[in-house]
Amino acid sequence: MMTDELRALIGREATYTAPEPLGRAAIRYFALAVGDDNPVYTDDAAARAAGHDGVVAPPTLICETNQYAGLPRDADGYAGHTWGIDLPGTRQVRGGNAYEFHRAVRPDDVVTAVWRLVDIAERATGAGQPMLVFTSRATYTNQDGDLLATNEESIIYLAVTP
Amino acid sequence: MKPGLELPPLERLIALPDMIAYAGATWDWHRLHYDPSYLAPRGLDRPVVDGQVFGALLAEQVQDWIGTSGVLRSLTFRFKSLVHAGETVRCLGVVQAVDGRLVTVEHRVEAEGRIAVAPASSTVELR
């Protein structure tokens, strides 16, 4: 499955900067959608009592949102970062994520995400089905260059037998 | 704080309106999460829950447990099986190691008796 063309993609980077601060409404919407009623997301007094300067975002929000990407929707309706790779004869599945949280994200943070394609590895499933595992890493910073979080993500392309 | 300590489980029903709300809140409008005309030709009879929501739920579980006594520093999770609209998920966690101020928790997410997410782990830095 691995080709020189794919190997040449390793190390590629893409940078997305949000056109506006994250905002309190985006934080409240995410917490509401998940069902997380922790008051540190919506109540400044509760957030201050927890040691913050005011409301903060749920830790995984900036790793999960496409708010900053500004990309058009693709045919599947998806408007987030991809490497634009089309591998005929494969099915794409999510492998997993690894997040590191460096500091709580505030409504006035303007997020920049830098994605890097770290590795493409050829492997096989337990049943011997070939697959390619794409590992990408996003680094999220704010307008002052503060490191907010990182997100390592694996996407698996499974060979589909016709 | 000792290895073996169980976190209170977090249980949540994920209904289609919750998935629509999550798609809106994360600017992720992938048709896999709501569109029957996308699902049917792919052999899927119900919308598929966005896997990243389990990251959010595990973070909620850890933070509800640790409160102001610690800060969530990392979260790692791998997907085992799809979860569908209308299913109830259960996030579980057990303290695996305590190393100074760093606590490692081993998690898994179950959905209607299946393992949806595993292995998974988080680390918390105690204040």
Dump pLDDT digits (tens) for B18-72: 999 999 999 999 999 999 999 999 889 999 999 999 999 999 999 999 999 999 9
pTM of the predicted model as reported, rounded to 2 decimal places: 0.96
Kindly list the strands in the beta sheet with A130-141, ordered across the sheet, starting from the edge strand earlier in the chain.
Answer: A13-17, A112-124, A130-141, A147-159, A90-101, B70-79, B114-126, B102-111, B87-99, B10-14
Interface TM-score (ipTM) > 0.85: yes
Taking 90 as the threshold, does the pLDDT of residue A160 lie above it? no
pLDDT single digits (tens) B62-115? 999 999 999 999 999 999 999 999 999 999 999 999 999 999 999 999 999 999
Q: Does B60 touch chain A (CB under 8 A)?
A: yes
- Answer yes or no: are the C-beta atoms of B95 and B105 closer than 8 Å: yes
- Answer yes or no: are the C-beta atoms of A106 and A57 closer than 8 Å: yes
Alpha helices in chain A (DSSP H): 4-7, 24-34, 44-49, 61-64
Q: Output the DSSP codes for A74-114.
A: -TTS--S-------TTEEEEEEEEEEEE-S---TT---EEE
Given an 8 Å threshold on Cβ–Cβ distance, is A34 in contact with B56?
yes
Q: What is the pLDDT of residue A89?
A: 86
Taking 80 as the threshold, does the pLDDT of residue A155 lie above it? yes
Q: What is the pLDDT of residue A162?
A: 59
Question: CA-CA distances (angstroms) from residue A60 to A10, A88, B59?
Answer: 26, 32, 7
In chain A, which residues have their Cβ closer than 8 Å to the Cβ of B35? 77
Rounded-to-integer distance, Cα A124 and Cα B85, Å: 30
Q: What is the pLDDT of residue A84?
A: 87
What is the rounded average pLDDT for all residues in chain A? 95
Q: Which residue of B has its CA nearest to A27?
A: B25
